[in-house]
Amino acid sequence: MNPLANENWWKEIFDDLYLLTDGRSVCDPQLTSSEVDFIESALGFDPSDSILDLCGGQGRHALELARRGFSDITVLDYSHYLVREGEKRAGQEGLNTSFIQGDARDTGLAPESFQGVMIMGGSFGYFVREEENQRILSESFRILRPGGTFLLDLPDRRFVLENFNPVSVHNPGKNIRVIRNRELEGDILFCREIVTCGDRGCLRDSNYNIRLYSPEKIVRMLGETGFFELSFQEDFMARQETGDYGTMTNRMVVKALK
């Protein structure tokens, strides 16, 4: 296995530092608003329909939906820190959004609980072992109601492969520097992320990995799970700004029905 592999990286990295290092993607209100425009159009739901934002972090999509009148939104994420931040923001704004700390592979939620389930922001493919990623698709299917809609937002594999950059550097804040060293093995992107501060030295030195999917492979996986009427859109939220946004630069989205 690649020396950069860390099977449990997702348990540790999503904290306050993550909101700084990835803030240009996950703390950008304009980007979030554009993404939610698409979500509303794709789901076509009544504001009273129940929607689960799976692996939803601090609930940036869910909270924006709630601001637009959706009244039955739930966020589930493993990160206690992000869940707490989402709850705090919902309370401050008086938004009726529920937050749950849990594992997307085994949510503990009742079968057929939601009219819509979405996994946005490239929050899929975190496991080197494909069967663990498949468990998330199976769990999404289980908790969807018959006739419900599933949205899956993924890095655009073709774009990542064609524009692969082994090293990226950016400065998200005063005296903060983020260096990402990347390796590609097949369809898995391995990355070492080093975050340093001019005043405090090294703040983080961690490894993570993301599996990339071709349209054909993810459609096949969804079909084998039981989803049907799959539709696919490439260049979903393609970034126009200059700079290396990694797997968040160009993304694709799959829509499927149960």
Alpha helices in 80-195 (DSSP H): 80-93, 130-143, 157-162
State residue 108's pLDDT score: 97
Condensed to tens digits (0 to 9), the pLDDT of residues 157-170 reads 988 888 889 999 99
State residue 1's pLDDT score: 58
Q: How far apart are the C-alpha atoms of 240 and 242, rounded to whole Å?
A: 7
Query: Which of 10-14, 90-94, 157-161, 184-188 is predicted most confidently?
Result: 90-94
Beta strands in 72-225 (DSSP E): 73-77, 97-101, 114-119, 144-155, 167-173, 176-185, 188-197, 201-211
State residue 82's pLDDT score: 97
Q: How many CA atoms lie within 13 A of 34 on its CB side?
A: 11
Would the pTM count as exceeding 0.85? Answer: yes
For residues 11 and 197, the answer to whether their CB atoms sit within 8 Å is no
Confidence of residue 242 (pLDDT cuts 50, 70, 90): low
State residue 177's pLDDT score: 94
Of residues 122 and 72, the one with the higher pLDDT is 72
Q: How far apart are the C-alpha atoms of 78 and 104, rounded to whole Å?
A: 8
Mean pLDDT to the nearest integer, 136-146: 98
Q: What is the dihedral of CA 12, 16, 20, 21, to 10 degrees?
A: -10
Residue ranges per structural domain of the chain: 24-155+214-257
State residue 245's pLDDT score: 60
Instruction: Average the pLDDT over each of 32-41, 48-57, 58-67, 214-223 and give the range with the smallest value.
Output: 32-41
State residue 154's pLDDT score: 94
Rounded to the nearest integer, the mean pLDDT of the chain is 91
Given a cut of 80, is residue 5 above it in pLDDT? no
Q: How far apart are the C-alpha atoms of 80 and 91, rounded to whole Å?
A: 16
Condensed to tens digits (0 to 9), the pLDDT of residues 100-130 reads 999 999 999 999 999 999 999 889 999 989 9
Condensed to tens digits (0 to 9), the pLDDT of residues 182-209 reads 999 999 999 999 999 988 899 999 999 9
Homologous superfamily (CATH) of 24-155+214-257 is Vaccinia Virus protein VP39 (3.40.50.150)
State residue 213's pLDDT score: 96
